Amino acid sequence: NAGVTQTPKFRILKIGQSMTLQCTQDMNHNYMYWYRQDPGMGLKLIYYSVGAGITDKGEVPNGYNVSRSTTEDFPLRLELAAPSQTSVYFCASSYLLLAGDSYEQYFGPGTRLTVT
Amino acid sequence: GQQVMQIPQYQHVQEGEDFTTYCNSSTTLSNIQWYKQRPGGHPVFLIQLVKSGEVKKQKRLTFQFGEAKKNSSLHITATQTTDVGTYFCAGRNDYKLSFGAGTTVTVRA
């Protein structure tokens, strides 16, 4: 299994441009997440999905959109890129979170995005 | 909402020494997870604690969950250069995890 894969690894955008960050997992996980990581700030949840066709906002959703048409794929769309969106983006997936229990999250290698 | 705080933010350790990093939540947690991120890498799951007062060990790493399930700690003994990285704790929040800001560990040889 490849686990969680993300493309591209690096990207430089100009202000106002748009792009899609791709995320694919081959572990048949129903839960998928997008995080951004700024230096010294930990991981902030952007959007998450509990299954195909179902998405919800996290802590910092403004400026982003997601879709989940299949179990495997969870792309993140940036519209009108701004310098504040310069960050490292991680996609993650996990099994069903049962009541009172949790499962580990598997992270992809990340996408380093710079907006100038 | 739930907040998870970690201290210290940075830990500079002499090789061979022990240290502890702490995680505190503003609310009671159903469980807590710990992750490690090597420089330039992605977070990797280390362990999950579920029961009040639970203690788990992984070689030189000892993880503890507080009796009130509002705090946790990670203790590393005889620190090695392979321990370099950022250690995150994460508390369960509905269908999501709330991550602390992490403790970044550097090691002096």
A41 CB near a chain B CB, below 8 Å?
yes
CB-based contact (8 Å) between A100 and chain B?
yes
* Closest B-chain CA to A109: B42
How many CB pairs below 8 A link A and B?
54
- pLDDT for res A39: 82
How confident is the model at residue A2, as a pLDDT?
85
Q: Which residues of B touch A97 (CB under 8 A)?
A: 92, 95
pLDDT at A1: 77
- Consecutive sets of 10 residues in chain B, 109 residues long: mean pLDDT of each? 88 97 93 95 95 96 96 98 96 83 95
pLDDT at B79: 97
Comparing CB atoms, the residue among A43, A104, A110 nearest residue B99 is: A43
> Under a CB-based contact definition with an 8 Å cutoff, are residues B106 and B82 in contact?
no
B33–A102 CB contact, under 8 Å: yes
Contact B96 A43 (CB under 8 A): no
pLDDT single digits (tens) A91-114: 999 986 665 566 889 999 999 999
The overall average pLDDT reported for chain A is 93
Arithmetic mean of pLDDT, A53-60: 95
- Report the b/e string of A12-22 with b at 16+ CB within 10 A: ebeeeeebebb
pLDDT of residue B69: 93
CB A40 to CB B9 under 8 A?
A: yes
Q: Is the Cβ–Cβ distance between A32 and A49 less than 8 Å? A: yes
Contact (CB<8Å) B48/A108: no
What pLDDT, on the 0 to 100 scale, is given for residue A99? 58
pLDDT one-digit tens code per residue, A10-26: 999 999 999 999 999 99
Sign of the torsion angle spanned by Cα atoms B21, B10, B86, A115: positive
Q: Do B96 and A33 touch (CB under 8 A)?
A: yes
pLDDT of residue B30: 86
Residue in the structure block whose two tokens are 């993650």 = A92
Q: What is the pLDDT of residue B97?
A: 87
Contacts of B33 in chain A (CB under 8 A): 102, 104-105
pLDDT at A9 over 80: yes
Q: How many angstroms separate the Cα of B28 from the Cα of each of A3, B4, B66?
A: 32, 11, 10
State the pLDDT confidence band at A63, using cuts at 50, 70 and 90.
Answer: very high
The per-residue pLDDT for range B1-22, each reduced to its tens digit, is 668 999 999 999 999 999 999 9
pLDDT of A50 above 80: yes
As a whole number of angstroms, the distance between CA B19 and CA B57 comes to: 15
Q: What distance in Å separates the CA atoms of residue B84 and residue B107, rounded to the nearest whole number?
A: 6
Distance from CA of A28 to the nearest CA of B (A): 17
